[in-house]
């Protein structure tokens, strides 16, 4: 029986990078910052390196990091555009590279004055760009989106077996930490990524805040369905939603009632719901999710 070397890839993981833009909007002394994490992943003709130790076709991962730094000199802009520029550079400039995947995270800072900022506790914006020399795919997203309902959520009429202890409820607190990724139908130069991101994140938040929840599964599907309705250029959305429990604390030993006012946020174990909502006529994802 023979042995064959299979799929492989390599890259530089979590390159931290801050770009300061000086005198933005033509205002002297007014600066802006872009804080991102970049991960590069290259695939291609690297058999000789693995099988024979021949590194002549292998670009060092340190060069991946340096390329990201050098590309940032001309500005980052929207992270999807930055990822496209990097991916195209690796594939179009290096013969042994057949596919590049660039994963990006953007970390938000809120402006205090013209040149001072405070790190925001907001969610993290994400993007994954894949390019194979002919086609480019873009998956944008969001993670660490913390959402909380203090009322308006139910969970009842569920299946019960001999081990079921959970009681039914017609009103409960409900919290989650959303990770969502949405695949774009087509990529065109000049695409307004910032507006698309705001529309998508606003849709997710608005749906969560207004739905009368029967279960996390129902919320997940409704958020995905509404997002696709709101953003016609998206092909599908994938959602990862833990159910972050906030447990009742018994205050009766202190002679106090607790009407779900004082809660204990339990970090584990937790329920986890995941799902994909997609259009029936969505184009095939290709390498977008690989």
Residues marked active site are found at 12, 61, 245
DSSP string for residues in 134-195: S-EEEEEEEEEEEEEEEEEEEE-S----TT--PPPEEEEEEEEEEEEEEEES---TT--HHH
Closest C-alpha to 244, from 225, 277, 219: 219
Distances (CA, A) of 211 to 27, 194, 206, 208: 43, 26, 9, 6
Angstrom distance (rounded) from CA 280 to CA 83: 28
Return the CA Rg of the chain.
Answer: 23
Residue pointed to by tokens 């991101």 = 197
Residue pointed to by tokens 């024979």 = 52
Cβ–Cβ contacts within 10 Å for residue 83, how many? 28
Distances (CA, A) of 16 to 4, 20, 69, 106: 36, 14, 9, 10
Angstrom distance (rounded) from CA 108 to CA 10: 28
Cβ–Cβ contacts within 10 Å for residue 169, how many? 12
């Amino acid at each position: 029986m023979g042995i064959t070397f299979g799929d492989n890839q390599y890259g530089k993981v979590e390159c931290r990078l801050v770009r300061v833009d000086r005198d933005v909007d033509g205002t002297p002394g007014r600066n802006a910052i872009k804080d991102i994490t970049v991960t590069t992943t290259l695939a291609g003709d690297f058999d000789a390196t693995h099988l024979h130790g021949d590194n002549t076709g292998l670009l060092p991962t340190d060069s991946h990091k340096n390329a990201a730094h050098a590309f940032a000199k001309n500005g980052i802009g929207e992270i999807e555009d930055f990822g496209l520029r990097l991916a195209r550079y690796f594939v179009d400039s290096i013969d042994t590279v057949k596919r590049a995947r660039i994963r990006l995270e953007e970390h938000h800072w809120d402006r205090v004055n013209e040149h001072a900022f405070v790190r925001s506790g907001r969610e993290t914006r994400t993007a994954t760009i894949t390019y194979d020399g002919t086609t480019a795919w873009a998956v944008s997203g969001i993670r660490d989106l913390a959402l909380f309902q203090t009322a308006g959520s139910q969970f009842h009429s569920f299946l019960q077996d001999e081990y079921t202890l959970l009681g039914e409820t017609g009103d409960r607190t409900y919290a989650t930490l959303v990770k969502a990724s949405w695949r774009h139908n087509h990529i065109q130069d000049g695409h307004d990524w910032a507006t698309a991101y705001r529309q998508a994140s606003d849709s997710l938040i608005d749906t969560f805040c207004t739905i009368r929840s029967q279960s996390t599964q129902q919320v997940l599907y409704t958020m995905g369905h509404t997002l696709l309705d709101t953003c016609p250029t998206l092909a599908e959305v994938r959602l990862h939603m833990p159910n972050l429990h906030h447990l009742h604390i018994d205050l009766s030993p202190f002679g106090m009632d607790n009407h779900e006012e004082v809660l204990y946020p339990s970090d584990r174990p937790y329920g986890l719901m995941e799902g994909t909502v997609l259009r029936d006529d969505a184009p095939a994802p290709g390498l977008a999710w690989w």
